[in-house]
Structure 1
Amino acid sequence: MDSNFKNGLQSFVFHETEGSKEITNEMNSSLKSASARMVGGGRPKVEDVARIYLNKARTSENGILKDFIIRDPEASTLDFRPIQVEDIPFTGNKTVKFRQAINNVSVYGSAVNVEVDKNLKLVSINSSVIPELEISTVAKISAEEALRNASEYIQNAIPKTIIPLLYIYFFEGAWRLVYIVKNVISKREQSREHDDNTVHRPHRHALVNYVNVIIDANDGQVLKLAPRVMSLSSDALGDDGIKYRINYRQNNGNAELVDEENNVFTYDLNYDTYSSHGALPGTIIIEQSQTGWLSAGVSAHYNACLVAAFLRNVLRRNGIDNKGMTLVSTVRCIEQSGIQEWNNAAWLPGIDQMVYGQVHRGGTLKSLAVSLDVVAHEILHGVTEYSSGLEYEYQSGALNESYSDIFGIIISNYGKELDQWNWQLGEQTEGVPFRDLSKPTEYGQPDHMNDYFDVDYDYGGVHYNSGIHNKAAFNLITSPDDSGGHLFNADEVAALFYMGLVQLSNSSGFEDSRRSVINAANSLFKNDSSRAAKLAAVANAFSAVGIG
């Protein structure tokens, strides 16, 4: 192992050609043993195989593997997230890249590459990681404060849709918990020393200065501006006519709508029926030389990346399944052949992806993916599936809908002052909203348990009765403090409802949700000076709508 003092990471490499047969046999035997325990048989996924080898390397006492920096996968707070699988065309092998995390916070610049051959036998492990590290992963400032500090420092307004990402970052010889605000334009004058052997003079950049802003998550200090090369980002028009900055990748000479940082892939079905066998996910969207990017794809891609960043940074969740699942979206989907308008968007369980239809607006078809609240709503159905597994009927189904609505509102308003939040869902595509958390009755929903009704359609009224729980959420989020301000901030309410959601189970009802959110509040505000007021506000929010 060598220490890389420039980035704080330590490297390790093992290759079958340079190691002993004993080590190679030990590693490959671990796969056989694990495969024998797998249910259902068949060929295991390459990501699962790579994980088996990685865990074995962490426990082996054999030869060079004793030097693998990360030990004891069961006891360690360190974990690894699979972020990418690559085919190696010259050898036919595959590599699975993992990113190191501590308590679900990514270690900036870290990577463990596990290479396997066509028979899934280990070829190599190549890593740059840090050992066990004593560091708090709880930020002392909010993401909103970090965004304000970054904007002030770069002397330029940062769009509220940009979410600072939490990382463990190496700076001036020490690991720190930081927020990184990515790919923003700095107008701050940058001075560099230009050495011509005789003079030193300031140099002002004439080009647009794209940077990452690194902010200490404990004291809010801007540590540095990291310059960015934007060769893999571009400005592109969404289906709403707004220009967005999107990330993509180059592959075989094509620019593909893939954001590897957020693990988001966006496809086009070109008005095919999404239920046709083998139709999904469709064709990966590429930039066309004459027409550029497909605007519906831009909207879906940009919004999915915002949600992915929110899951990771705010909810501290590693993707939809909390295991690094790729976030797949497909646009221009239809339900009935020959009819291009399909006024729907959906998370498809089992297939594990989002599909988006389109509606006629102003003489053209507009994708439902233009609405961030709709995109967030559908993605949260996936999160619910992989966390609480709420059944989609009656009260559990209404909770399923309500939690998607709640996070659709939180995510689409994140970064705004609470007094400026828009509580309506879907108006950007529908023309009129289909729900309103602040006033459920205006859109045909009840707002109190006195009006709860198990209807004989819509799976027991999941879209109808969700209004009651939605109103409880609105009450909670807008709870006032003694000074006339707001008792909770956006990060706190996001944490409350997320912690509440994951404690639920398949058949949970409204009172279960009340109990789990109160339980979450007890944990979250354990050492908060306003603990009593916040606990009372949570209970009152539910009581006001007759829940509990």
Structure 2
Amino acid sequence: MEPIIAPRKPVKRSRGRDRKRMPALAKQGKGSIVMSGLRGINANGFGQSYASRGMRALSSRLQRLERTSLKRERTAPQSARAADPDAQKYNLLLAERRQLRSSSSDAASRRHLETLLQDLDSRPMLAVTAPDRPERMPTMTTRLVGVAPDIDANTVTYQQSSGEVPIFGARVVVDVDRESKALVAVNGQLAPPPVRPAIARLSPIEAWRRLADWCAAPANLTDPAVAPTLTWYVDDAGTEYLTYRFRNTQLTPPKGDEVERDADPVACVRHARPGLCSYDYLVDAEDGSIRYYFASAPHFVPSPMCGIDCANELRKFYGLKVGESYILNDPQRDIVTYDYKFGNISEEPIPALPETAMPFPNHDIGDASPAAVSAHWHATLVFDFFNDVLKRNGIDDRGMKLVSVVNVYSGDDTSPTRPQWGNAAWWRNAMWYGQEKDATGTLMSFARHLDIIAHELTHGVTSSSSNLVYRDLPGALNESFSDIFGVFIANWYPEPKPVQDWNWEIGAGLGRNGGALRNFANPAAVGQPDHMRHYEPLPEYQDYGGVHRYSGIHNRAVHGIVTALDGDGQPIIPIRDAALLFYLTLVRLTPTSNFSAARRTLETVAGVYYADDPRREERLKAISEGYDAVGIV
């Protein structure tokens, strides 16, 4: 396939009525390595990169034409004014603005995106189309229409497809002003449409068997529970492949010959057993080869309850009164906490959850279960942060149930260390908490770590928004955003601390020699590289391509941005603003976004957010300098 940006002069296109229109977009429900076949698209209505048909451009043209028309009206007779071409342009542009304002967010964003892609004067257009083949325009499908209240915009998410077949990683998010429907921002990646028909030579079952053989699956493996979907995949060289995408399979890719997957001690929280990981696979629909794969990353009246947590603190929270019992089920937030009674999640099939949340005879459960209190209380704090500060409706932004499971074991049933399992993980749309003995021999639950819980639950936010693949630099970015909100939430409660007093470590006591797992201020202190000059691609079998190892580079950039102070010693970007900007960036990334894509998207979002702020350039400079300091360009 030809490169998206051709190394020759672009072909001129007509801007008149004969210009090819973008195909109609079908409405339907929601469903790095930046690959050579995918190119980033980032623009906003307040910069120089896009100003063709947005409301801002329309307004300026209308003002110029209005001044010209008024001047001629004083000197020209009525017959001449009727034939005045500038007056006719003014009327057409005014009608265009009224039409844009009265259209739906979907229609307006589609029009902005079409214009952006066809505007030869726009640099983003050159990044997403083949200039030497102007007849090829991407086909987009509306996946989600939402609201971004903090930038007063409606958000429309598109998935690029070829016919009915989606293109992996090709996704665009368009923000339009809620009232005027003017363009606010565009972020995403697009690819040239495939040139060959989507005809599969293998059946889905044949592709599944090829995948099973590659993974050395047992002979009694059953067929997949969910049928695969045909998906176009574009590799690093820009070559297109028609594949079957199998989602959330329990098939584990073969290990490498050099390094075990759990060899890297820098982990999140710690490496899970391979059997606990689900994988997505893209299997070639013609020859059955594995083209790409990655780890898949879960009307009642509430009753006040209280109890002692793992830190021996009294916590107040909500549950539900059922008969004569009180259970850990907060119906207001839809937070439920279960006792797994040290069941083994490594078994096949895994033991089922109890039928009800943890029950207690009284609303004051005292010290009956510090692990359950910590899990329920910390889940409440994380929910409140995303709901109250970031205006997100739960983990998936659709009010999904937040499930916590304490007293979990994973491993050999005959192990002398059972029931110790030193881990916590977001898995199968739930939080699972293990436990370890402290120096006194007391079992201490991992639910005691608020930063770890926030980190893991953010994986759920990521999987239901940008869905960054858990591999290579996209996976490291996935880890970094979990670290970001882990450290933000840990420093937010019981009340937000001044940034100068923040603790920038994640997982204190869980790392090497009793240290931390992460250190934003000094990644090298926990064995992580702190600059892109230290980045070397790793094979997938080694920490999934370095997802934990290299997250520290982006973390250090974030630390520089958040701790940048002005002349009065105050944060250049206020802490609440920083939390919102990083969140808006996360949900606008694409599955294969890398560190550079995160920088471009954050700069675009911040440019929109601070559009009318007199300190806009100062704040944007702080972002640029934070990324420059670690070599992310």
CA contact (8 A) 2:572 2:619 kept: yes
Q: How far apart are residue 543 of structure 1 and its match?
A: 0.9
Question: Residue type matched to 2:315 in 1?
Answer: Y
CA contact (8 A) 1:380 1:403 kept: yes
Q: 1:453 to 1:471 in 2, by over 3 A?
A: same
Partner of 1:546: 631
Question: Residue type matched to 1:455 in 2?
Answer: L
Partner of 1:310: 385
Q: Comparing 236-245 with 383-392, which one deviates more in the overlay?
A: 236-245
- Secondary structure, aligned partner of 2:536: coil
Q: How far apart are residue 248 of structure 1 and its match?
A: 1.0
Match of 1:504 among 582, 585, 589: 589
- Secondary structure, aligned partner of 1:463: coil
Q: 2:581, 2:148 → 1: CA distance?
A: 18
Q: How far apart are residue 432 of structure 1 and its match?
A: 2.8
Match of 2:398 among 323, 339, 354: 323
Q: 1:231 to 1:538 in 2, by over 3 A?
A: closer
Partner of 2:16: none
Q: Does 1:260 align with 2:331?
A: yes
Q: 2:519, 2:148 → 1: CA distance?
A: 36
Q: Does 1:342 align with 2:421?
A: yes
Q: How far apart are residue 429 of structure 1 and its match?
A: 6.0
For residues 76-87 of structure 1, the aligned pairs below 5 Å read none
Q: How far apart are residue 387 of structure 1 and its match?
A: 0.5
Partner of 1:251: 322
Q: Does 1:379 align with 2:457?
A: yes
- Secondary structure, aligned partner of 1:248: strand
Question: Residue type matched to 1:360 in 2?
Answer: K
Match of 2:533 among 450, 456, 459: 450
Q: Does 1:301 align with 2:376?
A: yes
Q: Does 1:357 align with 2:434?
A: yes
Question: Residue type matched to 2:578 in 1?
Answer: V
Q: How far apart are residue 485 of structure 1 and its match?
A: 2.3
Q: 2:526, 2:345 → 1: CA distance?
A: 29
Question: Residue type matched to 2:424 in 1?
Answer: A
Partner of 1:63: none
Q: Percent identity?
A: 37
Q: How far apart are residue 291 of structure 1 and its match?
A: 6.9
Q: How far apart are residue 514 of structure 1 and its match?
A: 0.6
Q: How far apart are residue 496 of structure 1 and its match?
A: 1.1
Q: 2:462, 2:620 → 1: CA distance?
A: 24
Q: Does 1:416 align with 2:497?
A: yes
For residues 148-167 of structure 1, the aligned pairs below 5 Å read none
- Secondary structure, aligned partner of 1:265: strand
Deviations 1:415-457 (A, max 9, x none): 1111111001111666531111111000000110011122330
Partner of 1:286: 359
Q: 1:238, 1:333 → 2: CA distance?
A: 17
Q: 1:281 to 1:491 in 2, by over 3 A?
A: farther
Q: 2:410, 2:461 → 1: CA distance?
A: 24
CA contact (8 A) 1:360 1:366 kept: yes
- Secondary structure, aligned partner of 1:249: strand
Q: 1:104 to 1:278 in 2, by over 3 A?
A: farther
Q: 1:535 to 1:231 in 2, by over 3 A?
A: closer
Q: 1:521, 1:103 → 2: CA distance?
A: 14
For residues 5-16 of structure 1, the aligned pairs below 5 Å read none
Q: How far apart are residue 312 of structure 1 and its match?
A: 0.6
Q: How far apart are residue 530 of structure 1 and its match?
A: 1.2
Q: How far apart are residue 473 of structure 1 and its match?
A: 0.5
CA contact (8 A) 2:582 2:602 kept: yes
Q: 1:103 to 1:447 in 2, by over 3 A?
A: closer
Question: Residue type matched to 1:464 in 2?
Answer: R
Partner of 1:390: 468
Q: 1:390, 1:288 → 2: CA distance?
A: 43
CA contact (8 A) 2:504 2:520 kept: yes
Partner of 1:495: 580
CA contact (8 A) 1:366 1:429 kept: no
Q: How far apart are residue 328 of structure 1 and its match?
A: 0.6
CA contact (8 A) 1:287 1:294 kept: no
Q: 1:546 to 1:104 in 2, by over 3 A?
A: closer
Q: Does 1:425 align with 2:498?
A: no
- Secondary structure, aligned partner of 1:271: strand
Q: 1:280 to 1:468 in 2, by over 3 A?
A: farther
Q: 1:103, 1:503 → 2: CA distance?
A: 11
Q: 2:422, 2:454 → 1: CA distance?
A: 17
CA contact (8 A) 1:413 1:422 kept: yes
Question: Residue type matched to 2:438 in 1?
Answer: R
- Secondary structure, aligned partner of 1:503: coil
- Secondary structure, aligned partner of 1:357: strand
CA contact (8 A) 2:309 2:370 kept: yes
Q: 2:341, 2:447 → 1: CA distance?
A: 15
Deviations 1:221-258 (A, max 9, x none): xxxxxxxxx99223311122222112111013210111
For residues 144-293 of structure 1, the aligned pairs below 5 Å read 232-276=303-347, 277=349, 279-282=351-354, 284-288=357-361, 293=368
Match of 1:470 among 551, 555, 569: 555
Q: 1:500 to 1:103 in 2, by over 3 A?
A: closer
Q: 1:328, 1:319 → 2: CA distance?
A: 12
Q: How far apart are residue 288 of structure 1 and its match?
A: 4.5
Q: 1:247, 1:546 → 2: CA distance?
A: 46
Q: Which runs of 5+ in 1 are unaligned?
A: 1-36, 41-73, 77-100, 106-133, 135-229
Q: 2:330, 2:584 → 1: CA distance?
A: 28
Partner of 1:437: 520
Q: 2:105, 2:519 → 1: CA distance?
A: 46
Q: 1:281, 1:273 → 2: CA distance?
A: 11
Give TM-score scaled by structure 1 length: 0.57
Partner of 1:3: none
CA contact (8 A) 1:376 1:404 kept: yes
Partner of 1:400: 478
Q: Which runs of 5+ in 2 are unaligned?
A: 1-27, 32-103, 107-145, 151-178, 180-300
Q: Comparing 455-464 with 396-405, which one deviates more in the overlay?
A: 455-464
Q: 1:102, 1:462 → 2: CA distance?
A: 31
Question: Residue type matched to 1:453 in 2?
Answer: E
Q: 2:566, 2:592 → 1: CA distance?
A: 34
- Secondary structure, aligned partner of 1:546: coil
Q: How far apart are residue 482 of structure 1 and its match?
A: 2.5
- Secondary structure, aligned partner of 1:427: coil
**Larger C-alpha radius of gyration, 1 or 2?**
2
Deviations 1:315-358 (A, max 9, x none): 1111111111011110111112352111111111xx21111111
Q: 1:484, 1:104 → 2: CA distance?
A: 30
Q: How far apart are residue 464 of structure 1 and its match?
A: 0.4
- Secondary structure, aligned partner of 2:473: helix
- Secondary structure, aligned partner of 2:612: coil
CA contact (8 A) 1:367 1:429 kept: no
